[in-house]
Structure formats: structure tokens, C-alpha cells
Amino acid sequence: MTIVRAHDYNDMSRKVANIISAQIILKPNCVLGLATGSTPIGAYQQLVEWYKKGDLDFSQVSSYNLDEYRGLAGDHPQSYRYFMDTNLFDHVNIDKSKTFVPDGMAEDYEAACAAYDAAVAAAGYPDLQLLGIGNNGHIGFNEPDDHFSRGTHLVDLTESTIEANSRLFDSIDEVPRQAFSMGVQTIMNAKMILVAANGEKKAQAVHDMCFGPITPSCPASILQLHTNTVLVADEEALSKCGELA
């Protein structure tokens, strides 16, 4: 695992955006695995800025998102489809028909999950998979468990994840209790994994991801086994990584 130290959130965002932009420039028809949440917003804003300056072209890019809340339609303001549209897709020249997010309204969720996995596999898996990391070490919505997940699946969200995400809703009672998430095995099939982390609240999870035992109780720890994982983290997120001193 390559660890890139950033000074703060803005520096982390620029460094993450630099790596994503390099992927697009080197392979204009690349497949991107994308993430949501507060962590990547700054990187997406930077990518939009570079696109508007004429430095980036998204016209041949396709994308697959990690996850989506169950029960939220794509036009719901807290859905991850809405997040991607408003934070990135609406502001660049990407073909939205080539941007994919799990269907939060799928009635036959097992069939929908299998179809999503098949689509990701048919695309050849992401050239670059962007990830955040949860306070409890989750990646996507793959929560701590007694095993590593495989394909896209329905997840019961932990109370810590529900609480962390409640800042985005008017009330914690409005936060969905379930979500669809790309599985750990699918994530590991990406050619490159780019993890972004910032803030002191992520420090323990970042330490365990990089230096702890590989265990499904910290899903991100499996990234130690990937041959091309890059972590970009700010000083606070790296504060418990004394191994880097």
C-alpha cells in the first residue's frame, strides 16, 4: 500500500483529484468506481474545475458507484444517484447513460444485485476504484462482519454508520436502515484502489486498515492484499500511524 500524506482536507482533495485525472488522461475510456459521502466532494469539485478549464474530458468515461440506500429513488435529495449528479455528473461532459448506481427501489433485490455485478464484470471492473473509509473501517457499505462479502448485496447498516450519516438528513429517523453495496470481492477486482481519508475520527480506522490484522471486523484491512492500493490521508487521519514516523 502506498501512503500519500496530505496537509489537510483541501490538500487531500487535490491529490485525490490529481490521481483520478491522471487515470482519465492516460485512458480516456476508463472505467471509474466512484464513492459518495463528504470525503470525495472536494475532489469532485476540483475535477469539475479542471473540466471547465478544458483540462479534462469525461466523454468516454463510464462509472459504477459503490452503493445506494434501499428505498430511495434516484431523484431523492439524499440518494447517491442524486449526490453524483449534483456533485459531478451534471457539471462535466460524461454520458449519464454510462453512469451506474445500484437501484435503491429494486423490488427483487437479489436479481438486481446479481445484474449489477454482471454489469461491473462485463465492463472489466474499474480501472480505478475510489473509496472512503468509515469510522468503523467499512468500505462501501460493507460493515464489520465475521466474513468478507463477495458480490453486491443488501446490508443492514450499523448504528454507528446510521449516526454518522444522519448529519445529511433532517432527522436520524429519516436515515435508511439498509443499503445496497458492492461487495468486497468486487472492489478487490479493481485494477487500482484509491482511498481518501480525512479527520481525526478516521484515525483508528486508517491505522487498522494499514497496519492492523486482516480481518472482516475491519473490512478495509483487506486492502493490504491488493497489489495497487493508494491511500491519500491528511495529518489528522494519519495521527495514529506511528509506523510512518
- Whether residue 17 is predicted with pLDDT greater than 70 in this model: the reply is yes
- DSSP class of 97: G
Show the domain range for 147.
2-122+140-210+221-234
Query: How many domains does one find in the chain?
Result: 1
Q: What is the pLDDT of residues 77-102, one digit of tens each?
A: 999 999 999 999 999 999 999 999 99
Q: Which of 103, 127, 143, 208 is catalytic?
A: 143
Q: State the Cα–Cα distance between residues 161 and 145, nearest whole angstrom.
A: 14
Q: What is the mean pLDDT of the chain?
A: 95
- pLDDT of the residue at 173: 87
What is the reported pLDDT for 167? 81
Q: Which of 65, 67, 189, 198 is catalytic?
A: 67
What is the percentage of the chain residues whose pLDDT exceeds 90?
89
Single out the catalytic residue among 103, 138, 153, 208: 138
Task: For residue 145, tell me if it sits in a domain.
Answer: yes
Domain annotation covers residue 135: no
Label residue 244 by pLDDT band (50, 70, 90). Answer: low
Give the span between the Cα atoms of 121 and 226, in whole angstroms. Answer: 18
- The predicted pLDDT at position 242 comes to 82
| Distance from C-alpha of 27 to C-alpha of 114, rounded to nearest angstrom | 28
Q: Mean per-residue pLDDT for 126-144?
A: 95
135 is catalytic: no
Mean local confidence (pLDDT), 15-22: 98
Q: Are 169 and 78 spatial neighbours (Cβ–Cβ below 8 Å)? A: yes
Contact at 8 Å (CB) between 173 and 58?
no
195-237, pLDDT tens digit by residue? 999 999 999 999 999 999 999 999 999 999 999 999 999 999 9
CATH code of 40's domain:
3.40.50.1360
The pTM for the full model equals: 0.94
Look at residue 84 and tell me if it is in a domain: yes
Q: What is the pLDDT of residues 147-193, one digit of tens each?
A: 999 999 999 888 888 888 888 788 898 888 999 999 999 999 999 99
Residue 243 lies in a domain: no
Catalytic residue of the set 65, 87, 136, 142: 136
Catalytic residue list contains 67: yes
What pLDDT is attached to residue 218? 97
Taking phi over 0 as left and psi of -120 to 50 as alpha, with beta for the rest, 124 belongs to left
Q: Give pLDDT tens digits for 33-47.
A: 999 999 999 999 999
Residue 191 within any structural domain of the chain: yes
Distances, alpha carbon 92 to alpha carbons 55, 78, 109, 131, in Å: 11, 21, 31, 21
- Alpha-carbon distances of 212 from 4, 102, 224, rounded to whole Å: 18, 31, 9
> Model confidence at 14, in pLDDT bands (50, 70, 90)?
very high
Flag whether 216 is in a domain.
Answer: no
Q: In the 8-state DSSP scheme, what is residue 233?
A: E
On the question of pLDDT at 245 being above 60, the answer is no
Q: Is residue 17 part of a domain?
A: yes
Has 143 been annotated as catalytic? Answer: yes
